[in-house]
Amino acid sequence: MTSLASARGEVLLSEKKFYTFAHPPDLFTLESGVRFGPITVAYETWGELNREKDNAILVLHALTGDSHATGKYHPDDRKEGWWAGAIGPGLALDTDKYFIICSNVLGGCQGTTGPSSINPATGKPYGMSFPVITIRDMVRVQRELLRHLGIEHLRMVIGGSMGGMQALEWIVNFPDMMDKAVVIAVSARMSAQGIAYNLVGRRAIMNDPNWNNGDYYDKEPPRNGLALARMIGMITYQCAESMEMKFGREINCEKEEDLFRMDSRFEVENYLYYQGDALVRRFDANSYLYLCKAMDLYDVARGYESLVDAFSRVQAETLVIGISSDILFPTYQQKEIVQALRAAGKKVYYEEIKSPYGHDAFLIEYDKLNPIIKRFLEK
Amino acid sequence: MTSLASARGEVLLSEKKFYTFAHPPDLFTLESGVRFGPITVAYETWGELNREKDNAILVLHALTGDSHATGKYHPDDRKEGWWAGAIGPGLALDTDKYFIICSNVLGGCQGTTGPSSINPATGKPYGMSFPVITIRDMVRVQRELLRHLGIEHLRMVIGGSMGGMQALEWIVNFPDMMDKAVVIAVSARMSAQGIAYNLVGRRAIMNDPNWNNGDYYDKEPPRNGLALARMIGMITYQCAESMEMKFGREINCEKEEDLFRMDSRFEVENYLYYQGDALVRRFDANSYLYLCKAMDLYDVARGYESLVDAFSRVQAETLVIGISSDILFPTYQQKEIVQALRAAGKKVYYEEIKSPYGHDAFLIEYDKLNPIIKRFLEK
């Protein structure tokens, strides 16, 4: 498959592969101390690993992302992977030069072991018996995947949002494993406001009677709850300006008096309903709960005396990117990362993308993002 | 009661009174064209109306407010009204000088006719058969109350958030009824982002099976849904900075491993649960739906050619106040009001309160708010 990556003009093809480890009794010890296994990791790769094995880049996905970061599984697929604008021949993460790896996170629902996976001990999905996991656990699982792929050193780790959390955990916990790191639109620890947003998303799911304490895999899933969690999330991924630009107060009423119906819908409402429904078709509600909890627990400094102390371990050169209109991870949080890395005496660069698109800009503004990443990577 | 208002040092006492109008067949025509009645208005007053009847100030409440803007119903009451820091002897809205009026809005649940009121035609609560109402309807109901009180002119109208929406509808629709207006932390029309936040609050209620299409008054009400709507709202009334200041990442775990439980709660989560439960005890879920819908429909320029055209009717001198950290009604929205009033050739002043408390600052920052209001009122 990977040889197609360099065929300019052709479709970049993807194949989802799997690696399973931590078979009993050799279980994987989570940050919580819980021993857990087996763990299957779903991953995809593009480009070719060179003979020196020094051209690998690990791409880290956000909350509802997956291993399908770019390309198509089949030439007829309607959509490409979630970061197709950044990963491909001639792009910032150039598949002609680099071996790009992306895996679905632990706790996810796109092939990697998560709450919807079958617990081999019971023959039933884990549901809420799945252990609470952390961003650090996700990263340690990725480390096992790289070992399996024979990769002992990465050219770079890169991710935005929850992917950025993973990138920071990578440079702190496996400091000699990479030359560079790109950390986009994230903080060094989840903020109180971020925890609050995640809480209301989780409550939306748990309030849905179909959630049934996580036991719904042979029943009707909590569609309304997960859709509402997504609608809440989508507001925080944008900003006042981008929503005003896109939707304003547009409303589609056949008759003027329809405006005054409780079920009249402004365009922004139609959009949120659409986004909620779209997520329900591809995502597991319990995974949403576990991944949000992992984000809440995220604090790169946990186990260290301070953030600067944690960062004193770092060996990678780091590029931190903020988005001017991000309301979920405002730019002061990226500047805090930069200051702490500097205080620890590390090489760090900061770039701010001026964008009206809010947090989601890292999935939209390729014209601004690609040159910054390319310059940093090839410097 | 009102004579006690000037007794410094004593408790300012309040009494909820009622006025009913629009008895069939003399129904009240709503902005939607629907004819509706009877309408009861719950209201409270403090201070005394002078002989010239020119010292009345109308205070307009926000989403979950009520007529109880200041004072106590009984000296032993634990809490005072919601704006006790601004209304009272010697305060900005000085009950020694002014006759202060506050009424519960149409659609509310604190004494004024709303969806939880008994429909005299059926003997049952209106529920979702209550008509969709608008901010303009609320104001026109207040106009009827003033007529009943024998007040043909106001010294001032004043309100924040949904109260500010009412203040703007007042100066446009009854331009010769007041000398001054104070409009705090609001916009000239609900933004797309504001509609989005209201939508997810409404969905939280409607997703609750106990909501039962609004028919729950003789059953278990949709507590979880209303609590979640409130939790979502509370995030938007604050800001990243205020939540970080108040809660940070504080968590109360007896044992370290409890951190890694799905039900572990950060302090910010405890706070939101508390706020959700508190609202459920005092507020009706259907009222929440109707008032949020009224806010979504809010556009001062509706029926006029433009905002400037609407404002060309204004006779009042207007003070617009923005809050630096407001994420729900960011200050650019207040500046837009100011610009449009200026473009219409009107006397308008703008003040910005520097506060870390977000939207809620207008219920907190009395030290900053009172001097600004007092200066404007007594100028």
Q: What CATH number has the domain bearing residue A73?
A: 3.40.50.1820
Do A368 and A274 sit in the same domain of this protein? no
Query: What single letter denotes the amino acid at residue A19?
Result: Y
| pLDDT tens-place string over residues B277-288 | 999 999 999 999
Minimal Cα–Cα distance from A269 to chain B, Å?
6
- For chain B, list residues with pLDDT below 70: 1-9
Question: Both A156 and A202 in a single domain?
Answer: no
Q: What is the ipTM of this complex?
A: 0.95
Contacts of B201 in chain A (CB under 8 A): none
pLDDT of residue B9: 61
Residues A107 and A211 in one domain: no
H/E stretch holding A328: none
DSSP collapsed to 3 states, chain B: CHHHHHCCCCCCECCCEEEEECCCCCCEECCCCCEECCEEEEEEEECCCCCCCCCEEEEECCCCCCCCCCCECCCCCCCCCCCCCCEECCCCEECCCCEEEEECCCCCCCCCCCCCCEECCCCEECHHHCCCCCHHHHHHHHHHHHHHCCCCCEEEEEEECHHHHHHHHHHHHCCCCEEEEEEECCCCECCHHHHHHHHHHHHHHHCCHHHHHHCCCCCCCCHHHHHHHHHHHHHHCCCHHHHHHHCCCCECCCCHHHHHCCCCCEHHHHHHHHHHHHHHHHCCHHHHHHHHHHHHHCECCCCCCCHHHHHCCCCCEEEEEEECCCCCCCHHHHHHHHHHHHHCCCCEEEEEECCCCHHHHHHCCHHHHHHHHHHHHHC
| Residues B248 and B315 placed together within one structural domain of the fold | no
Q: Specify the pLDDT at position B11.
A: 84
Q: CATH number for the domain including B248?
A: 1.10.1740.110
Q: Please identify, among B224, B256, B291, the residue that sits at the C-terminal boundary of a domain.
A: B291
Residue of A nearest to B32 (CA): A260
What pLDDT shows up at residue A150?
97
B181 lies in the same domain as B253 = no
Q: Are residues B10 and B98 in the same domain?
A: yes
How far apart (Å, rounded) are the C-alpha atoms in residues A227 and A274? 9
Q: How close does chain A come to B178, measured CA to CA in Å?
A: 29
Query: What's the pTM?
Result: 0.96
Residue A161 among the catalytic residues: yes
Q: Are residues B207 and B248 in the same domain?
A: yes
Same domain, yes or no, for A73 and A174? Answer: yes
Contact state of B207 with A207 under an 8 Å Cβ cutoff: yes
At residue A263, what is the residue type? Answer: D
Smallest CA–CA distance, residue B349 to chain A, in Å, is: 25
Q: Has B326 been annotated as catalytic? A: yes
Predicted local distance difference test score (pLDDT) of residue A257: 81
Nearest to B369 by CA among B321, B318, B317, B316: B321
Do the Cβ atoms of A60 and A2 come closer than 8 Å?
A: no
- Looking at the fold, whether A177 and A239 belong to one and the same domain comes out as no
Residues of chain B contacting A272 with CB distance shorter than 8 Å: 196, 199-200
**Both tokens of residue B15?**
């009494």
The one-digit pLDDT tens for each residue of chain A (379 residues) are 334 444 456 789 999 999 999 999 999 999 999 999 999 999 999 999 999 999 999 999 999 999 999 999 999 999 999 999 999 999 999 999 999 999 999 999 999 999 999 999 999 999 999 999 999 999 999 999 999 999 999 999 999 999 999 999 999 999 999 999 999 999 999 999 999 999 999 999 999 999 999 999 999 999 999 999 999 999 999 999 999 999 999 998 888 889 999 999 999 999 999 999 999 999 999 999 999 999 999 999 999 999 999 999 999 999 999 999 999 999 999 999 999 999 999 999 999 999 999 999 999 999 999 999 999 999 9
Chain B residues with CB-CB distance to A191 below 8 A: 240, 243-244
Tokens standing for B190? 């609900």
Q: Does A296 qualify as catalytic in the annotation?
A: no
Please identify, among B236, B269, B291, the residue that sits at the C-terminal boundary of a domain.
B291
Residue B228's pLDDT is 98
Q: Of A264, A284, A272, give the one whose Cα is nearest residue A228.
A: A272
**Domain membership of residue A276 as a residue range:** 195-291
Q: SS3 of A355, please?
A: coil
Do A27 and A161 belong together in one domain? yes
Taking an 8 Å cut-off on Cβ atoms, the answer to whether A191 and B262 are in contact is no
- Work out the minimum CA distance from A208 to partner chain B, whole angstroms: 7
Domain count along chain A = 2
With CB atoms and an 8 Å threshold, state whether A32 touches B260.
yes
For residue A206, what is the nearest residue in chain B, using CA coordinates?
B224
Q: Which residue, of B291, B320, B350, is where some domain finishes?
A: B291
B166 and B203 inside one domain:
no
β-partners of residue A183 are A159, A320
Are B204 and A128 inside 8 Å of each other by CB? no
Contacts of B44 (CB under 8 A, 6+ apart): B14, B15, B16, B17, B67, B68, B69, B71, B81, B101, B102, B103
The reply to whether residue A33 touches residue B257, judged by beta carbons under 8 angstroms, is yes
Are B130 and B37 found together in one domain?
yes
User: Among the options A117, A296, A359, A360, which is catalytic?
Assistant: A359
